[in-house]
């Protein structure tokens, strides 16, 4: 059912996880994989540090500026909103988006600071809902051992433990939990199978929806 352009829409695929869980490594491998199969695909990431809002976020993350917890939360959300219409256009014209962090990071990191969960979710309402969330599951202690944290604001073991707990409360039917402590190649193979299945389902006309649903 639906017109041909609708039935060929791209998939919105999000990678989530603690800092150092392997999101960036696996995102780029997925892009190579999909392109190799002849699919139109792009790699996106949040925060998108290239915009004006993104530069404010980047300053905050690198401890070059201080912001109230609510303020930075809304900036992260605004950074997704400024990309929403382009995101929808890309998906509707058949491009699959592999997105490194999304609204779940926004909610998990801010609620880990003690902000109210529903308050954190509210500004995300109306953003596009991912077709698939790949959660790279790693113990905070194991993640901390990987190449050492680089010194950005949230890269601290005790805080990452709280974030891990907050992520646990956000799981829904779109989530697949992947053991992120496996060898990189094993995770890569596991993700390829899940992602291809999702891309084909979206091509067949699965409708786009909005958060939180």
Question: For 157, what's the count of Cα atoms within 13 Å in the CB-facing half-sphere?
Answer: 9
Residues belonging to the chain: 213
Contact between 46 and ligand T5A by CB under 6 A: the answer reads yes
Contact between 135 and ligand T5A by CB under 6 A: the answer reads no
**CB proximity list for 123: less than 8 A, separation 6 or greater:** 73, 74, 77, 78, 81
Beta bridge partners of 210: 128
Residue 29 interacts, among ligand T5A, Na ion, none and using kind-specific CB cut-offs from 5 to 8 Å, with none
Residue 147 interacts, among ligand T5A, Na ion, none and using kind-specific CB cut-offs from 5 to 8 Å, with ligand T5A
Identity of the residue, 23 or 90, whose beta carbon is nearer to ligand T5A in the bound complex: 23
* Separation in Å, CA 45 to CA 37, 101, 141, 180, 200: 22, 6, 25, 19, 23
Contact pattern for Na ion over residues 2 through 41, marking x by CB under 5 A: ----------------------x-----------------
Interface with ligand T5A (CB under 6 A): 17, 19-25, 46-47, 61, 76, 101, 105-106, 109, 146-147, 154, 180, 184, 187
């Amino acid at each position: 059912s639906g017109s041909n352009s609708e039935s060929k829409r791209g998939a919105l695929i999000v990678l989530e996880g603690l800092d150092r869980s392997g999101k960036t490594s696996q995102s780029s491998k997925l892009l190579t994989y999909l392109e190799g199969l002849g699919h139109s695909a792009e790699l996106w990431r949040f925060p998108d540090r290239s915009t004006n809002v993104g530069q404010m976020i980047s300053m905050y993350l690198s401890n070059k500026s201080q912001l109230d917890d609510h303020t930075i939360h809304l900036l992260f959300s605004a950074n997704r909103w400024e990309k929403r219409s382009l995101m929808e256009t890309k998906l509707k014209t058949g491009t699959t988006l592999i997105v490194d962090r999304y609204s779940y990071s926004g909610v998990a990191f801010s609620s880990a600071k003690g902000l109210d969960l529903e308050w954190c979710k509210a500004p995300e309402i109306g953003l596009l809902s991912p077709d698939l969330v790949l959660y790279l599951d790693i113990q905070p202690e194991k993640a901390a051992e990987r190449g050492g944290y680089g010194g950005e604001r949230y890269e601290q073991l005790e805080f990452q433990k709280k974030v891990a707990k907050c992520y646990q409360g956000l799981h829904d039917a779109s989530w697949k939990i992947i053991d992120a402590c496996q060898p990189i190649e094993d995770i890569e193979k596991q993700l390829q199978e899940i992602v291809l299945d999702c891309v084909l389902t979206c091509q067949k006309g699965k409708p786009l929806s909005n958060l939180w649903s």
